[in-house]
Copies of this chain bind each other. A is one copy, B any other.
Amino acid sequence: MATNQFDTSLPSIRQVQKCIKEKLTVEFRLMTGDLITGRIFWQDHNCICVFDGNNEQIMVWKQAIAYMKPFSDTVA
């Protein structure tokens, strides 16, 4: 299983940083089947922190992420 790296030069890490800076709304699909939609507040080695529509702060463990879709890409 992938041992995620937190190297800020990696495209995957930069893509999340881009979402933070541009305040994009993204959707996370989790291993549990849950969909988490919101804006990314921060990321670190272990987690990505998301503010959802109710302004709840959800700390998502990276180990649980299946994929991320930036919604703004299709709407903008």
**What is the CB-to-nearest-CB distance from A71 to chain B, in angstroms, rounded to a whole number?**
9
Q: Which residue of B lies closest to A14 (CB)?
A: B44
A10 and B6 alpha carbons, distance in the complex (Å)? 12
Is A30 an interface residue when CB atoms closer than 8 A count as contact?
Answer: yes
Interface residues of A, count at CB 8 A: 43
Residues of B within 8 A of A65 (CB): 61, 63-64
**What is the CB-to-nearest-CB distance from A53 to chain B, in angstroms, rounded to a whole number?**
12
Is A45 an interface residue when CB atoms closer than 8 A count as contact?
Answer: yes
- A45-59: contact bitstring with B at CB < 8 Å (1 yes, 0 no)? 111010000111111
A residues bordering B, Cβ < 8 Å?
Answer: 1-5, 7, 10-13, 15, 29-34, 36, 42, 44-47, 49, 54-70, 73-74
